Amino acid sequence: MSTGSQPPGDLFLPVSDPALEQRLRTRLGLVEKALSGHVRSRAPFVTEAASHLLEAGGKRFRPLLVLLAAEVGPEPDADDVLTAACVVELTHLASLYHDDVMDEAAVRRGADSANARWDNHVAILTGDFLFARSSELTAELGRDAVRIQSETFAKLVEGQILEGVEPGPDQDAVAHHLDVLAGKTGALIATSALYGARFSGASPEVEQALTAYGDIVGVAFQLSDDILDIASDSVESGKTPGTDLREGIPTLPVLLAKRSTDPADARLLALLEGDLTDDGRHAEALGLLRAHPALDEARRYVVQRAHEAKALLAVLPEGPVRQALEDFADAVAVRTA
């Protein structure tokens, strides 16, 4: 088993400036090397289990956002920036171990999930181990970072819990879905941007703007996945269309369609309320959703949120860092097309 660092491939964030791209690649390599050390235990089996998803790869979007946000401050090379990048990725990795148990997932990042390779107990405790490692590192960043991390973790767990809870009779299902995504995804991405700004010495105004930016693009990115589940072509996206639809997982286009009071949508609404594991019913529902105004409404919402995220970046000086952040917001919107 190898616990060595992986050389960074294509950066998940679009970076058009060669010098900035090289700086981010170099620092992401340092983060990768540090992560390999942080998942090590005195017990070889724990090291193997904790290294499992790290070695399977991943986008490393959260640590990359820490590093990119740090570029707006006077000390982007500060040791605390690299530590913070490790904190957010370890937190994310830990959550994946727990998610896979809850979802009974068999595969993660192209490899067996930890619960499939070992069992649920190993997966849950490995996630706990990684959360503990993340907490140890957070303590090195100071008391305020401990508070931020605790608040972020609470939001993440709350979002995960709410995902499995049906909205109440007087609660809007779309608002509930957005709340879930804000906790499960937006919170940690917002903290990633905040950490980069904070530990590189950026101003409070920049911190606030980048935190809000991270919250918006994190949720918008997940919403674009909602849309792609309905609209994507499997050849182009590499994903099977309608997977969430088949499994009854709420997505924005489905929730918007369910609001319809148009008698012409009676068949679609009946299908959405029924069992879609049957191939014929699933194909019919998918076709009706693709032609439904709810799909374009969902796209418009994501584009609107991307524009809001870009507007927050006005406090940053023009240049390659701001451009990269703007380009990512644009990329989120384009994903829905």
pLDDT tens digits for 183-232? Answer: 999 999 999 999 999 999 999 999 999 999 999 999 999 999 999 999 98
Quick check: 4 pLDDT over 60?
no
User: pLDDT tens for residues 32-64?
Assistant: 999 999 989 898 888 888 777 777 777 899 999
Q: Quick one: pLDDT band at residue 237, thresholds 50, 70, 90?
A: very low
User: pLDDT tens for residues 289-325?
Assistant: 999 999 999 999 999 999 999 999 999 999 999 999 9
Quick check: 235 pLDDT over 50?
no
Supply the pLDDT for residue 103.
64
Supply the pLDDT for residue 234.
57
User: pLDDT tens for residues 133-160?
Assistant: 999 999 999 999 999 999 999 999 999 8
**Could you tell me where the beta strands, DSSP code E, fall in the chain?**
107-108, 111-112
Across 67-77, average pLDDT: 96
3-class DSSP state for residue 118? coil
Question: Residue 90: CA atoms inside 13 Å, Cβ hemisphere, count?
Answer: 30
Supply the pLDDT for residue 6.
41
| CA-CA-CA-CA dihedral for 294, 300, 305, 311, to nearest 10 | -170
User: pLDDT tens for residues 93-135?
Assistant: 988 887 767 666 666 656 667 677 677 878 888 888 999 999 9
Q: How far is residue 73's CA from residue 207's CA, in Å, rounded to a whole number?
A: 10
Exposure b/e, 199-210, CB count within 10 A at least 16 = b = bbbbeeebbebb
Exposure b/e, 107-117, CB count within 10 A at least 16 = b = ebeeebbbbbe
Exposure b/e, 143-170, CB count within 10 A at least 16 = b = eebeebbeebbebbebbbebbeeebeee
Delineate the domains of the chain, giving CATH numbers in brackets.
17-200 (1.10.600.10), 203-337 (1.10.600.10)
Supply the pLDDT for residue 1.
35
User: pLDDT tens for residues 60-69?
Assistant: 999 999 999 9
Q: Give percent of the chain above pLDDT 70.
A: 90
